[in-house]
Structure 1
Amino acid sequence: MQVTETLNEGLKRGYEIVVTADELDQKVHEKLVEAQPEVEMKGFRKGKVPLALLKKQFGERLLGEAMQETVDQAMSDHFEQTGDRPAAQPDVKMKNEDWKAGDDVHVELNYEALPDVPEVDFSGISLERMAVKADEAAVDEALQNLAENAQDFEDREEGAAAEDGDQVVIDFTGKLDGEAFEGGAAEDYPLTLGAGAFIPGFEEQLVGVKAGDEIEVKVTFPEDYGAEHLAGKEVTFDVTVKAVKAPKAAEIDDELAKKFGAEDLESLKGQIRERLEAEYNGAARQVVKRKLLDQLDEQVDFPLPPGLVDSEAKQIAHQLWHEENPDVQGHDHPEIEPTDEHRKLAERRVKLGLLLAELGQRAEVEVTDSEMTQAVMQQARQYPGQERQFFEFVQQNPQMQQQLRAPIFEDKVVDYILERAEVTEKEVSKDELQEAVDALEEE
């Protein structure tokens, strides 16, 4: 076997691999010898079929296997000897497409090598981490929101008209072509106007009604409605309004606390304070992580694989185009050419991705099974009732596993660096932290 370099330009590599016909023939012979003891054929005892006969019957199929295995082994040996790590799947193709048995095999191997990533002096990284304490005002605001969410309703004065946000207690009967349909009736039904609980257009027609009113509501079921006999159909509802009630926020007291699983109001305040500070810490970490990545981007430099940058730039351009054109769901649109801005962002992402991957490998950072399980469980919550199917999908999909593992790995590498960098803490207000988070989104 002969390996000849054909390209060495930056990170681009090219080689020609020649596998001689004799080498392939020897490989086929070895496979036949290995298989001979187990082969049974009419007229011969098991293991006694002549090699020449085996080669005549199985040689052509084994030749293809031998060719693939030999080329794969040549590539493996090449990467082991050179130390190169391909940035993406290498491009491998036969040069002599008119190859036939008895000919040498000429294979072209092209790839972009991953660059050598320099060491990073973490002690030279200086960062400031924001710290926010949950003050009484923030706790009181959160309590007020809880009270509003736990609101009750009380009867409006006699003759008062229902407003958006009010609750109306109604009896109703739905009719299609004058006939009541199944599932379209209820009594003493409490409906909050504006909540969007009913068919579009239903609640809007009840704004302004009064207790004792009897009205007819006309609506059209959506085309994609679950019941086929009602989908897209216009129906009427005979509605009797039995009560009109205004929302009333719950009292902020021990009873409210018990509704949310706390022993008393002070315990609920403590839980709220912990939750708020956890949210503040999460936001502060976003800010300090961005600052860390900015410093790494400035301090570390190495050549980037052009193919990775091109691919990332196209992906960024495509994603941003769809964000600007939300009505286009599929990919039936003109080709999107990345701009210089897209390429600049792609270069940053590729550089930081390769850097964090290398730093994590050197530090032997690993994502544990329990961390992966937790990540899968969090994702599965987005599919209520289908959690089991989602777990099975992830188990059978290595690409999905990598998508879940990558952000965990990145965060663990970031934590590793922050533990070794010079990080000072600065106490700031909630508004200052929010401004810093908003600034991240604008960049």
Structure 2
Amino acid sequence: MAIKQTTNEGLKRAYLITITAAEIASKIEAEIKKIAPQVKMPGFRPGKVPANLVKKMHGEQIHGQTVNDMIRESVDGMLAKEELRPAMQPAVSLSEGYEEGKDAEITVELEVLPVVEAPSTDDLKLEKLTVPVSDEALEEAIANIAGSNKSYKDAAKSKKAADGNQLIIDFVGKLDGEEFEGGKAEDAALVIGSGAFIPGFEEQLVGAKTGDEKTINVTFPEDYQAENLAGKEATFDITVKAVKVETETKIDDEFAKNLGLDSLDKLKEIMSGQLEQQTAGLTRTQMKRQLLDQLAAGHDFEVPSQMVEAEFEQIWAQLQQEAAKEDNPEAAIKEIEAEKEDYKTIAERRVRLGLLLSEIGQANNVEVTQQEMQMLIQQAAQQYREEDRERFMQYIQQEPMAAAQLRAPLYEDKVVD
């Protein structure tokens, strides 16, 4: 096998690998001898089929597999010999017109990772913001909990239901006069104005009193989750069993106990901790931005164009998805198109920072453990249907590049921390 470098420009490399016909033939002969004892053929005892007959029967298949194996081995050997660190999967091609009995010429094109020394972190200075939990913020958080845990008391029987009142009702839903599955309930609690029921349902109960019986007409939304009801007109026979009005929620020990806690002080302690966690997350984000800005400002080196293009494609796909959800998708897409070059610059910055963080991580023995990787794979698999999850997990395990993409965000966070 001969290796000849044909391109060395910046981070781009290209090589011509020649595997001689003699090397291929020798490998094929060795492979035939290896499998011959396993071949069965009428008229011959097991393991006694002559090698020339084995070659006649399976030669084409063996040749194809052997050449593929030798190409893979030669490329791996070349990368090791030349001490190359590919930025992406090398492009490998066999010369056109190759046929058995000829030398195989393989072209290998790739970009290599730049040689980057691990930046010193001794001179990095970051400002950490602290946000003490104020009494006002704590009171507001607890008031929000009280607001989502409203209590109601029975109103006078003459009370007409209004917005914000709670009704206890029995109802039976019908399509064309026939009850439908899931359209019946007893002692259902409904707060008028909450939007919990389908459009038009709650509005028709305004003014109802305890003991009232009435039939209302509604139309299910076109996008209703039950296909048999979507867009259909229906009636509901309703019995109002009680009209209730909201009672003032007193924030005290009793309120905390209703939430399963020992006291109001315990509730304040828990909520204070949650608010501190929220601000801690914001603080970390702000510090990370400072860190990355300082690293980016202090380093400027060539980065692999393939990595930049792959990063840009991810950014661009996400932007297009978000634009498609806007009220005016065409205008949103036009807006991001005008900033396309800026996003390419962002992609280049991300790649450069990724390489810097990788070097820092290696210098400080930062690792993503096998257990952490398994958790990442399992979490990512949850976005797929159950029948496709196993296939996705196998794909990640078999494709190093896919596994690297999954691993990268966690590795970055560990280096930043």
Q: TM-score range by the shorter chain?
A: 0.7 to 0.9
Instruction: Report the CA distance between 1:145 and its aligned residue.
Output: 1.5
Q: Which stretch of the first structure deviates more once superposed, 110-119 or 314-323?
A: 314-323
Residue identity in the other structure for 2:262 = E
Instruction: Report the CA distance between 1:140 and its aligned residue.
Output: 1.9
Residue identity in the other structure for 1:285 = R
Q: Deviations over 1:347-400 (max 9, x none)?
A: 1111112222332233332223454566577778999xx9x8797566434178
Q: Deviations over 1:55-107 (max 9, x none)?
A: 222222111111111111111111111221221121112222x2222122222
| 1:201 equivalenced with 2:203 (yes/no) | no
> In 1, are the aligned partners of 2:39 and 2:46 still within 8 Å (CA)?
yes
Which residue does 2:412 correspond to in 1? Answer: 410
> In 1, are the aligned partners of 2:378 and 2:393 still within 8 Å (CA)?
no
Which residue does 1:419 correspond to in 2? Answer: none
Q: Identify if the C-alpha distance between structure 1 residues 199 and 323 changes in structure 2 by more than 3 Å, giving closer, same or farther.
A: same
- Matches of 2:295 and 2:39 in 1, distance apart? 61
Instruction: Report the CA distance between 1:286 and its aligned residue.
Output: 0.9
Which residue does 1:88 correspond to in 2? Answer: 88
Q: Identify if the C-alpha distance between structure 1 residues 261 and 372 changes in structure 2 by more than 3 Å, giving closer, same or farther.
A: farther
Residue identity in the other structure for 2:94 = M
Q: Identify if the C-alpha distance between structure 1 residues 401 and 237 changes in structure 2 by more than 3 Å, giving closer, same or farther.
A: farther
Which residue does 2:355 correspond to in 1? Answer: 354
Aligned with 1:125: secondary structure? coil
Which residue does 2:139 correspond to in 1? Answer: 140
Which residue does 1:253 correspond to in 2? Answer: 252
Paired residues in the alignment total 407
Aligned with 1:122: secondary structure? coil
Give the number of the structure with larger relative contact order, counting CA–CA contacts within 8 Å between residues 6 or more apart: 1
**Structure 1: runs of 5+ lacking an equivalent:** 329-333, 416-443
Instruction: Report the CA distance between 1:224 and its aligned residue.
Output: 5.0
Instruction: Report the CA distance between 1:125 and its aligned residue.
Output: 0.7
Instruction: Report the CA distance between 1:245 and its aligned residue.
Output: 2.5
Q: Identify if the C-alpha distance between structure 1 residues 273 and 123 changes in structure 2 by more than 3 Å, giving closer, same or farther.
A: same
- Matches of 1:376 and 1:210 in 2, distance apart? 56
Which residue does 2:219 correspond to in 1? Answer: 220
> In 2, are the aligned partners of 1:162 and 1:208 still within 8 Å (CA)?
yes
- Matches of 1:380 and 1:46 in 2, distance apart? 46
Aligned with 1:231: secondary structure? coil
Residue identity in the other structure for 1:396 = Q
- Matches of 1:381 and 1:257 in 2, distance apart? 36
Instruction: Report the CA distance between 1:298 and its aligned residue.
Output: 0.9
Q: Deviations over 1:173-224 (max 9, x none)?
A: 2222233334323333211234333223322333454445544322222445
Q: Which stretch of the first structure deviates more once superposed, 57-66 or 168-177?
A: 168-177
Q: Identify if the C-alpha distance between structure 1 residues 26 and 118 changes in structure 2 by more than 3 Å, giving closer, same or farther.
A: same
| 1:343 equivalenced with 2:341 (yes/no) | no
Which residue does 2:330 correspond to in 1? Answer: none
- Matches of 2:404 and 2:166 in 1, distance apart? 48
Instruction: Report the CA distance between 1:414 and its aligned residue.
Output: 0.6
Q: Deviations over 1:214-236 (max 9, x none)?
A: 44322222445455543331111
Residue identity in the other structure for 1:359 = I
Which residue does 1:122 correspond to in 2? Answer: 121
| 1:4 equivalenced with 2:4 (yes/no) | yes
Q: Identify if the C-alpha distance between structure 1 residues 200 and 397 changes in structure 2 by more than 3 Å, giving closer, same or farther.
A: farther
Residue identity in the other structure for 1:289 = K
- Matches of 1:272 and 1:235 in 2, distance apart? 45
Residue identity in the other structure for 2:414 = K
Which residue does 1:434 correspond to in 2? Answer: none
Report the aligned-residue RMSD.
Answer: 3.1
> In 2, are the aligned partners of 1:147 and 1:249 still within 8 Å (CA)?
no
Aligned with 1:128: secondary structure? coil
- Matches of 1:174 and 1:205 in 2, distance apart? 15
Q: Which stretch of the first structure deviates more once superposed, 308-317 or 241-250?
A: 241-250
> In 2, are the aligned partners of 1:12 and 1:111 still within 8 Å (CA)?
yes
Aligned with 1:131: secondary structure? coil
Q: Deviations over 1:238-275 (max 9, x none)?
A: 33334333333532122222233322221222122222
Q: Which stretch of the first structure deviates more once superposed, 53-62 or 68-77?
A: 53-62
Which residue does 2:65 correspond to in 1? Answer: 65
Q: Identify if the C-alpha distance between structure 1 residues 373 and 168 changes in structure 2 by more than 3 Å, giving closer, same or farther.
A: farther
Aligned with 1:56: secondary structure? helix
Instruction: Report the CA distance between 1:402 and its aligned residue.
Output: 5.3
Residues 355-394 of structure 1 correspond to what in structure 2 (within 5 A)? 355-372=356-373, 392=390
Q: Identify if the C-alpha distance between structure 1 residues 59 and 389 changes in structure 2 by more than 3 Å, giving closer, same or farther.
A: closer
Residues 28-427 of structure 1 correspond to what in structure 2 (within 5 A)? 28-96=28-96, 98-156=97-155, 160-225=159-224, 227-326=226-325, 339-372=340-373, 392=390, 395-398=393-396, 405-415=407-417
- Matches of 1:349 and 1:163 in 2, distance apart? 56
Q: Deviations over 1:15-35 (max 9, x none)?
A: 222222111101101112222
Instruction: Report the CA distance between 1:305 and its aligned residue.
Output: 0.8
- Matches of 1:362 and 1:59 in 2, distance apart? 50
Aligned with 1:137: secondary structure? helix
- Matches of 2:178 and 2:45 in 1, distance apart? 82
- Matches of 2:381 and 2:14 in 1, distance apart? 44
- Matches of 1:22 and 1:9 in 2, distance apart? 33
Q: Identify if the C-alpha distance between structure 1 residues 409 and 194 changes in structure 2 by more than 3 Å, giving closer, same or farther.
A: farther
**Structure 2: runs of 5+ lacking an equivalent:** 328-332
> In 2, are the aligned partners of 1:148 and 1:249 still within 8 Å (CA)?
no
Which residue does 2:20 correspond to in 1? Answer: 20
- Matches of 1:177 and 1:68 in 2, distance apart? 68
Instruction: Report the CA distance between 1:166 and its aligned residue.
Output: 2.8
Q: Identify if the C-alpha distance between structure 1 residues 2 and 402 changes in structure 2 by more than 3 Å, giving closer, same or farther.
A: closer
Aligned with 2:28: secondary structure? helix
